[in-house]
Amino acid sequence: MDLISLDDIKNAEKNLKGVIKKTELDWSRTFSKMSGNEIYLKLENLQRTGSFKIRGAYNKICSLTDEEKQNGVVAASAGNHAQGVALAAAKMGIKSTIVMPEGAPIAKINATQGYGADVILKGESYDEAHKEEERFSCENGAVIIPAFNDIDVIAGQGTIGLEILEDLPDVDIVITPVGGGGLLSGVAAALKELNPDIKVIGVEAANAACMAESMKLGCPAHLKNVDTIADGIAVKYPGELTYKIISEYVDEIVTVEEEEIAHAISLLMERAKLIVEGAGATTLAAVLNNKIKVKGKKIAAVLSGGNIDLDIISTIIDRGMIKAGRRISFETSLYDKPGALRDLLDVISRTGANVISVVHDRLTPDISLKHAQVQVTLETKNEDHVKDILTTLENNNYRVKRTR
């Protein structure tokens, strides 16, 4: 294929020397056991700026002429590409302007500004931000640094493939997230040019599966809506260039559901001590939910980024605790007399549960004037423990309604 060459990627590797980290390819005992494969995590969540995007952004800016650099650069991004462009421009002393969707995570907005970029918030998605990027470029002469649909950007991302092969020459399968396709197309080109036998798989959020749809149709597909916690890959329309490269090199595109992504984020925090954003966690989600139907293979899963809002982490933790039976909320009513609440808590204490919160409300109009409604949240061990607690309460004449 003449769209991108191995030399393009190797030249990008030279440009990036001393600028990026060569991130670790970390073998996971836990996820290997859970999946029945040998799982290696490519830790791009620990890359400079918190994601792989610095690779492509820096390589692209290296290609600019002196005249182009004087006019500054502009980029549209949900956040990670923004930070990559901002840092790359700052290192070269170039002015950068970043257009981000209005709903972009606050952490990514703040980080982008922290690298010295001017930030414009425009539109509800990457695609709408891209239109503003084009308008800004026309009016100000700034050079657009594409998020994915550019050879220099793709080549920069492809350096991840070179690093994986250097650390694990006998890898069987490499999995990367895919939104617009820059990461997947670059990694696939690098790997397939060096070893065509390696299987390369892309993973999308089911609610933003533009590349999977494109593969079905045989041409780039345009989605009407995207809605996913994997904001880094929430793209409505893939790149024409990335689509062609992926069509040539990639073996399969699979999708994962929102709950699967959230669970993978939770597992990475708890079992691997890694903070990974939604897009980055899609690869592990695919492995653990049997979207890639293999056993006994050496699999490298690219964790593409770690820039995630604390609010999202908090919600994922809470929901994950409930799903795992490690937290329960219920309500019951008590006769409104001294000692009634103490008696309830005594019963709970005998079950070994830990009380997180208690809300005692005697004013709610739905119960008798002589009663009070009590809402209790408990920390529990597992779902069997939850069942034992509910049974114990019922055996002690408490009528309990589980709320979570």
Kindly list the catalytic residues.
53, 304
CA–CA separation, 366 and 348 (whole Å): 25
Q: What are phi and psi of 66, to 5 degrees?
A: -60, -40
CA–CA separation, 197 and 188 (whole Å): 11
Strands laid side by side in the 354-361 sheet: 354-361, 371-379, 327-335, 401-402
The DSSP code for 238 is -
- Angle at the Cα of 280 (from 278 to 281), degrees rounded to 5? 65
Q: How many CA atoms within 13 Å lie on the side-chain side of 233?
A: 37
Q: 3-state DSSP: the chain helix, strand, coil percent, rounded to 5? A: 50, 20, 35
**DSSP readout, 259-296?**
HHHHHHHHHHHHHH-----HHHHHHHHHHHTTSS--SS
Contacts of 29 (CB under 8 A, 6+ apart): none
CA–CA separation, 174 and 202 (whole Å): 9
